[in-house]
Amino acid sequence: MSTRHLFVLVGMPSSMRDLLGEGQLRKLAHAHPRVQVEMVYEPAQFATRISHADVAIVQARFRFPPDVLRPDARLRWIQVVTAGVNQVLTPELVTADHVTITSSKGPLAPLMAEHAVMLMLALARNLPGYLHSQAHHVWSRQDYVIPFMMQLFRKTIAILGVGGVGGHLAQICKSGFGMQVLGMARTSRGHPHIDRYFQRSELPTALAEADVVALCLPLTPETVHIIDADTLASMKPTAYLINVARGELVDEEALIHALQRGRIAGAGLDTTTVEPLPEESPLWTLPQVIITPHVAPGTDGMGKDVVDFWCENIRRFAEHEPLLGVVDRHTGY
- State the DSSP code for 201: G
Q: What would the DSSP string read from start to end of 71-139?
A: TTSS--EEEESSS--TTT--HHHHH-TTSEEE-SHHHHHHHHHHHHHHHHHHHHTTHHHHHHHHHTT--
| Distance of alpha carbon 144 from alpha carbon 136, whole angstroms | 15
Q: Which of 125, 225, 294, 329 is catalytic?
A: 294
Q: Which of 202, 275, 319, 321 is catalytic?
A: 275
The size of the chain, in residues, is 333
Query: Is 246 labeled as catalytic in the residue annotation?
Result: yes
In the three-class reduction of DSSP (H, G, I as helix; E, B as strand; rest coil), residue 183 is classed as: strand
Query: Is 253 labeled as catalytic in the residue annotation?
Result: no
Q: Report the 3 state secondary structure along 7-48.
A: EEEEECCHHHHHHHCHHHHHHHHCCCCCEEEEEECCHHHHHH
Q: Which of 115, 191, 246, 248 is catalytic?
A: 246
Residues β-bridged to residue 181: 157
Q: What would the DSSP string read from start to end of 94-113?
A: HH-TTSEEE-SHHHHHHHHH
Closest by Cα among 185, 175, 226, 201 to 333: 185
In this structure, the number of other CB atoms found within 10 A of the CB of residue 333 comes to 22
| Distance of alpha carbon 177 from alpha carbon 216, whole angstroms | 19
Query: Is 114 labeled as catalytic in the residue annotation?
Result: no
Give CA 237 to chain center in angstroms: 26
Helix (H) or strand (E) holding 267: strand 266-269
In the three-class reduction of DSSP (H, G, I as helix; E, B as strand; rest coil), residue 311 is classed as: helix
What positions carry a catalytic annotation? 246, 275, 294
